[in-house]
Amino acid sequence: MQVSDQGLVALMQHEGIVPGPYMDSVNVATYGIGHTAAAGAPDPADLPLGMPADLDTALADVAAVFRRDIARYTADVLKAVRVDLAPHELDALVSFHYNTGAIAQASLTEALNAGDRARAGALFLNWKKPAEILPRRTAERDLFLHGTYPEGVVTVWQVDTRRRVIWTPARTLSAAEALALMRGGPVAPAGPLALGSRNARNRQIQTLLTDLGLYTRRIDDEWGPGQQAALEALDVRKSQIQSLIDGE
């Protein structure tokens, strides 16, 4: 039994992707998709600092490590759990174990093995430190109990040479792009965007426009009227600047 495609994307959404070594919220050296030395090689402490020069190659390396980690953590879950699991239950448990490493000793595993799925689901929320992990734990509980998968994109974050994550996306991946990366193949060519399109790259465009003070609406996947107006305002500013340069 393996983690489903939806489960892989959900876990990648929870973890995010950082293509260089960083210190997580509890000061553990981490890399890629939540990889730590506890999962085996590579040791994040030994990896080159900062953003890679070739992001595509770096993402392929991250995916290779993630595939190994998923196989290990899935095996741990299947060893610890002695009852049959639905695919969404396995996905939730692997996500939990990937983050905590605690499937063997967690009280939720004991409840599950005793046949009490409702109690097992509730016990996901016992693991709520640090405080910022609670939304993830709630999502894992909902996935385990109800098969509810999170929506959204997988974000590739930037990182500096002091092992600090920069919370500005370097790239965002749709579910299809994330799965293509996981399977070791090239991500499909992006293709052009236009008004009315829905694509994760619109989030990047909107983020940049927000930084310029031109976009004030909710950041999402759709090129709507707000993004269109912001791009038109950007064209006006570029034209004004060019006029100044040309001395007009």
Q: Is the pLDDT of residue 240 over 90?
A: no
Q: Is the pLDDT of residue 55 over 70?
A: yes
Distance CA 228, CA 236 (A): 13
Q: Is the pLDDT of residue 239 over 90?
A: no
* Average model confidence (pLDDT) across the chain: 92
| Alpha helices, H only, 147-224 | 175-182, 201-211
Question: pTM for the full model?
Answer: 0.76
What are the phi and psi torsion angles at 160 (to 5°)? -100, 180
Q: Residue 185 — pLDDT band, cuts 50, 70, 90?
A: low
Q: Residue 152 — pLDDT band, cuts 50, 70, 90?
A: confident
Average pLDDT value for residue range 223-248: 87
Q: Is the pLDDT of residue 186 over 90?
A: no
Model confidence over 62-90: pLDDT tens digits?
999 999 999 999 999 999 999 999 999 99
CATH class held by domain 5-146: mainly alpha
Q: Residue 138 — pLDDT band, cuts 50, 70, 90?
A: very high
pLDDT of res. 95: 98
Distance CA 81, CA 132 (A): 27
Distance CA 62, CA 58 (A): 6
Distance CA 139, CA 133 (A): 10
Select from 87, 59, 71, 68 the least CA-distant residue to 180. 59
pLDDT of res. 248: 66
Identify the H or E element spanning 165. Answer: strand 165-173
Q: What percent of the chain has pLDDT over 90?
A: 72
- CATH 1.10.530.40 domain position(s) in the chain: 5-146
Distance CA 20, CA 157 (A): 9
pLDDT of res. 244: 81
